[in-house]
Amino acid sequence: MFGRPIELFKIFGFKVRIDLSWPVLAALVTWWLSALVFPAQLPGLAPGAYWTMGAAGALAYFLCLLLHELAHSLVARTYGVEIRGITLFIFGGVAEMAGEPPSPQSEFVIAAAGPAASFGLAFACGGAYLVGSVESWPAPVTAVLGCLGILNALLALLNLIPAFPLDGGRLLRALLWGWRGSLRWATQVSAGVGSGFGLLLIGLGVVSVLNGILFGVWLFVLGLFVRNAATASYQNLLLRHALEGEPVSRFMRPDPVTVPRAISVLELVQSYLSRYQFKMFPVVDDAGRLLGCVTSRQVRALPRDEWERQTVGSLAERCSPENSIPPGTDAMEALSRMSRTGTSGLMVVDGDRLLGILSPKDLLRFFSPKMEEETR
């Protein structure tokens, strides 16, 4: 995914977001329906009618896609699995689970919920199409309904391919997990299948492009995404197993570089930012008590003619869950928080005392040797 997603609304307590890549998919689906599908199905209509049908069909399809992910989310909630939100992006949508399902059975049911919802929508749209054809509904309406029925059926079938992290890959992982009793082994095998499927798509994409079929570009990019997502899913599982239960105090860097609140922003740039290359500095008062932090992002947002007049103390962000964390916090929770907020580090604090700084690099430095051992 590309950049931080934009939150649209909440439904049943789940945040619904769109990734910055989603408009590309929306435009492609609208164009495909308006320029290719509907003109072939209903020739002779005005161009504006095709584009109206295409826009309506694309909007309805994305609502169906949202319902697919919502089915995953609602079922996951019944098993106590936290869902951070639903994000629509260039390859469809994803329900972002904060952790792994508690059992093979729950994994299977959660994974099956999405395709089941899509098949249900396919039957509903197909049934409405048949009724509309018999009752002589307007042809554009029945055409959109028929197309939605086919798209939902294709969405369900595509997701049932046993390639992790697709729903079919999660179903495979649930079966393997239940058979051998090892989530790690099941994830490794299903992620391997997913990686292989990604390579197959990449190969088909290359062959298609060489034969002049532009759709091969889409297959190639999709294959890259599936392969990378499968590999990342297995690495995330290993990372979670390595970090869960470990306090952040074990990984933090003690005695971090601090900045006095009284210095100017210009002095901060000249004496700290240019020297240490850190993106965040804790700010302390004259007695050494922690007041908050200042970031390079804040400095860039401040006009240069203000650098000499503004002090660091006036610019500093106060301590909050967005930038600070207690020393006993679970390391995996800290990593998840940094991932959600996009921050480059957290201050480890005890009251108004600064104990250290924690960054994703500090956690990954601990994890890298374990990953090397796992892949030998």
Res 370: pLDDT: 54
Is residue 127 in some structural domain?
yes
Residues 10 and 145 in one domain: yes
Residues 141 and 29 in one domain: yes
Is residue 175 in some structural domain?
no
Res 109: pLDDT: 94
Residues 144 and 233 in one domain: no
Res 249: pLDDT: 83
3-state secondary structure of 359: coil
Is residue 292 in some structural domain?
yes
Residues 185 and 237 in one domain: yes
Query: Which residue type sits at 43?
Result: P
Is residue 89 in some structural domain?
yes
* End residue of a domain, out of 243, 265, 289: 243
Res 146: pLDDT: 92
Residues 203 and 291 in one domain: no
Give 310's strand partners: none
Residues 14 and 135 in one domain: yes
Kindly list the catalytic residues: 69
Res 368: pLDDT: 60
Quick one: which H or E segment has residue 143? helix 139-159
Residues 20 and 155 in one domain: yes
Distance of CA 297 to the CA centre of its chain: 23
Q: Which of 111, 118, 104 is nearest to 76 (CA)?
A: 111
Is residue 18 in some structural domain?
yes
Residues 83 and 194 in one domain: no
Residues 79 and 15 in one domain: yes
* End residue of a domain, out of 160, 194, 215: 160
Res 345: pLDDT: 80
Residues 232 and 287 in one domain: no
Q: Which of 202, 208, 207, 199 is nearest to 221 (CA)?
A: 202
Could you read off the pLDDT tens digit of each residue along the chain, which spans 376 residues? 555 677 888 888 888 888 877 888 788 888 888 888 889 888 888 888 889 999 999 899 889 989 999 999 999 999 988 888 888 876 677 888 877 788 999 999 999 999 999 999 999 999 999 998 888 888 888 999 999 999 999 989 988 988 888 889 899 999 999 998 888 888 889 888 888 888 998 898 888 888 887 777 778 888 888 888 888 878 777 777 777 777 888 888 888 888 888 888 888 888 888 888 788 888 888 777 888 888 888 888 888 888 888 888 888 888 788 788 888 888 877 877 777 666 778 888 888 788 888 887 777 776 665 554 554 4
How does strand 346-350 pair with strand 280-284?
A: unpaired
Is residue 319 in some structural domain?
yes
Two structure tokens written together for 111: 């994974």
pTM score: 0.73
Q: How far is CA 262 from CA 109, 265, 288, 353, in A?
A: 58, 9, 12, 19
Report how far residue 193's alpha carbon sits from residue 183's, in angstroms, rounded to the nearest whole number: 15
Structurally, how many domains does the chain consist of? Answer: 3
DSSP letters spanning 299-345: HHHS-GGGTTTSBHHHHPEEP-TTTEE-TTSBHHHHHHHHHHHT-S-
Report whether 83 contacts 14 (CB < 8 A): yes
Report how far residue 156's alpha carbon sits from residue 71's, in angstroms, rounded to the nearest whole number: 13
Which residues lie closer than 8 Å to 74 by C-beta, 6 or more apart?
12, 113
Q: What are phi and psi of 290, to 5 degrees?
A: -75, 130
Per-residue burial over 27-38, b if 16 or more Cβ lie within 10 Å, else e, is: eebbeebbeebb
Residues 205 and 276 in one domain: no
**365 burial class (0-12, 13-18, 19+ CB within 10 angstroms)?**
exposed
Q: Which domain holds residue 192?
A: 181-243
Is residue 172 in some structural domain?
no
Two structure tokens written together for 55: 């826009």
Report whether 227 contacts 194 (CB < 8 A): yes
3-state secondary structure of 155: helix
* End residue of a domain, out of 222, 243, 264: 243
Is residue 174 in some structural domain?
no
Residues 192 and 131 in one domain: no
Res 222: pLDDT: 81
Res 90: pLDDT: 66
Res 91: pLDDT: 65
Res 115: pLDDT: 93
How does strand 14-18 pair with strand 6-11?
A: antiparallel
